[in-house]
Chains A and B, each alone.
Chain A
Amino acid sequence: MVNKIEILVIGSGPAGLKASLGAAAQGAKVTLVERDPFLGGQLVKQTHMFFGSKEQYASERGFKIAEKLSREVEDHPKIRVLCNTAVLGCYENGVIALETKEKVVAIQPQAIILATGAQENTLMFPNCDLPGIYGAGAVQTLMNVYGVVPGCRVAMVGAGNIGVIVSYQLLQAGVGVPAIIEALPHIGAYHVHASKVRRMGVPIYTSHTVLAAHGDECLEGITFAEIDKDRQPVAGSEKELKVDVLCIAVGLTPLIEILFQAGCKMAFIPELGGHVPLRSDTLETSVSNIFVAGDASGIEEASAAMVEGSIAGLTAALNLGYGKESYQENLAAARRELAGLRSGPAGEKIRSGLARLARSEEVTY
């Protein structure tokens, strides 16, 4: 028995929440599925204030934005929320299998918005599998969702926004951060974030990498060193650090397996974090009525994910015949916001990734 529904939104992070609200505001019926027991995706772990403008909740903390949007979604009569629900796969005729309440359920949505986010990249070095070596997302989950400190002294690998923000959050939790280690010759994070951790005394080592982790049963220390422009260790620059946690924050990769399964045309775009779907300027993939939004469409800030969610939600609703009167106006407003967020020097990478994607052909295997 296949349940027919209007719009399925997969994932309840910033993109999925806004996609659900965007589609429901136009009058469409939305089913929002979330693997975790609660809504919000990565927003629930974000204790820092957001950038952007007031349309994207600037100055508010991520977890507060999650609370606000989750409440709106849960109170909305057109949105049905299914937490603890995992999408198992996409089958013929657009049938989606869900695992919910220990049962497998098949549904057939008229439109799908994929807002699954991203997964963390990892790093290979000797002993990189020792207990005590975490991804930054896990450290944030332990600290900010469950209130558990991951260790006493944490070395951070990666000076992008995630590495620097998680370092700051560790300091807030009373955990020492003796080093932030970054392979690139410059800090990738917003410089204001870097200045925040610097004035709390955390050194940032650019052009450095981890050579090895040490320890018998679990992590006891690391060796790191400067690297030259060919990324080779500089002899004599090795440094030892005693740490019980090494936190890896070296980028994200879009989670798009369901789009591959659905037969969407994909391209490999390094600037966007990996394989991403070809799509229209309203985020519809090459398979009609399948949309993508947020990090699944290319790694970017949460503020942009929210606006992408709105665009996908509005357009999916339009495809089903809802909200024709207000569509153009709402779309234009969202497009202006997105263009603003991407227009400065900080948006250069995403702009070049999107330009490359627009020129791309499908990759075949």
Chain B
Amino acid sequence: MLSKTGVPTPEQLKAVKPSKERLDQGPVVIVECFQEIPCDPCYTVCKKGGFLPFEDINDLPRMDFDKCNGCGICIGACPGLAVFVVDESYSEQEALVMIPWEFLPVPEEGSTVKGLNREGHAVAPVTVKKVRYAGENNNTHILTLVAAKEFAHDIRSIGVKE
């Protein structure tokens, strides 16, 4: 249970997952935010209308997945590092997973690293396709990982050390 272990339940994850049709179409955001806390930058940073307006600052994010183009600006804006983008249209066998990264070393583009699940276990190797820096003010890196499709909804971090 999330409140005991820090790992969201399968039911919680299912509730925030876009439909298969939407996932097939291309990159889309997945917001793993399950607790009402006073926080709204995901909504204020999105220029596409992907996040429905907050009525109260404590609201959970509610999505309009059809307006989201998977740009990932919200990944670097989320103070909880709870926002990811998945692109299942990348290839037949592989998907792209975009994650926030606040550790050193920052992996090099083209390198292969361990893909970690929500418990920190290595589940499959991933290739770092792109490294984006969210800027001096934010200091977060946004990594685009290539992962086998069946792990696109499990891999949420990477292990860069042996």
- Tell me if B33 counts as interface (CB < 8 A to partner A): yes
Whole-angstrom distance between the alpha carbons of A95 and B93 in the complex? 74
Give bound CA distance, A185 to B46, whole Å: 36
Residues of B near any A CB (own CB < 8 A): 2-8, 32-41, 44-45, 56-58, 77-82, 102-104, 116-121, 137-140, 156-157, 159
B38 engages A344 (CB within 8 Å) = yes
Of B8, B57, B104, B121, the residue contacting A341 (CB under 8 A) is B57
In chain A, residues 40-62, which have Cβ atoms closer than 8 Å to a Cβ of chain B? 48-54, 58-61
Q: Are B137 and A60 in contact (CB under 8 A)?
A: yes
Q: Is the CB of A198 within 8 A of B57?
A: no
Across the interface, B38 reaches (CB within 8 A) one of A172, A187, A341, namely A341
Contact A49 B138 (CB under 8 A): yes
Q: Are A344 and B103 in contact (CB under 8 A)?
A: no
Q: Does A200 contact B (CB under 8 A)?
A: yes
Contact A199 B38 (CB under 8 A): no
Q: What residues on A are CB-neighbors of B8 within 8 Å?
A: 195
Contact with B along A341-362 (1 / 0, CB 8 A): 1111111000000000000000
Give the A interface residue count (CB, 8 A): 42
* A-to-B contact residues, CB < 8 Å: 48-54, 58-61, 64, 171-172, 174, 185-187, 190-202, 204, 206, 303, 340-347
A–B pairs, 29, beta carbons within 8 Å: A49-B140, A51-B80, A58-B40, A58-B41, A60-B137, A61-B138, A191-B3, A192-B35, A193-B80, A194-B2, A194-B5, A195-B80, A195-B82, A196-B80, A198-B5, A198-B119, A199-B117, A201-B116, A201-B119, A204-B5, A206-B4, A303-B38, A340-B38, A340-B56, A341-B57, A344-B38, A344-B56, A344-B58, A346-B37
Which residue of the partner chain, among B35, B137, B139, contacts A190 with CB atoms under 8 Å?
A: B35
Main secondary structure of the interface of B (DSSP, over half): loop
Nearest Cβ in chain A — how far from B71, in angstroms?
16
Interface hub of B79, B104, B140 (most chain A Cβ within 10 A):
B79
Q: Which of A192, A303, A341 contacts B81 (CB 8 A)?
A: A192
Q: How far is the CA of A342 from the CA of B34 in the complex (A)?
A: 18
Q: How far is the CB of A252 from chain B (nearest CB, A)?
A: 19
B45 proximity list for chain A (CB < 8 A): 59
Contact at B38–A51, with CB atoms within 8 Å?
yes
Look across to chain B and name the residue whose beta carbon is closest to the beta carbon of A191: B35
A191 touches B2 (CB 8 A): yes
Decide if A53 touches B44 in the complex (CB within 8 Å).
yes
Closest chain B CB from A345 CB (angstroms): 5
**Whole-angstrom CA separation of A186 from B3 in the bound complex:** 5
| CB <8 Å contact, A53 and B57 | yes
Residues of B close to A51: CB separation below 8 A:
37-39, 79-80
Tell me the bound Cα distance from A301 to B40 in angstroms.
Answer: 16
* Given contact pairs A204-B5, A341-B38, A64 touches B119 in the complex (Cβ within 8 A): no
Are A198 and B38 in touch, CB under 8 angstroms?
no
Instruction: Check if B139 sits within 8 Å of A61, measured CB to CB.
Output: yes
Q: Are B32 and A195 in contact (CB under 8 A)?
A: yes
A195 and B118 in contact (CB under 8 A), knowing A49-B138, A345-B58? Answer: yes
Contact of A187 with B4 in the complex, beta carbons under 8 Å: yes
How far is the CB of B104 from the nearest CB of chain A, in Å? 8
- Which B residues are in CB contact (< 8 Å) with A48? 79
**Is the CB–CB distance between B6 and A204 below 8 Å?**
yes
Complex contacts, B81 vs chain A, CB 8 Å: 192, 195-196
A346 to B58, CA, bound (A): 8
In contact, A58 and B39 (Cβ under 8 angstroms): yes
Interface centre among A49, A54, A172, A195 (most CB of B within 10 A): A195
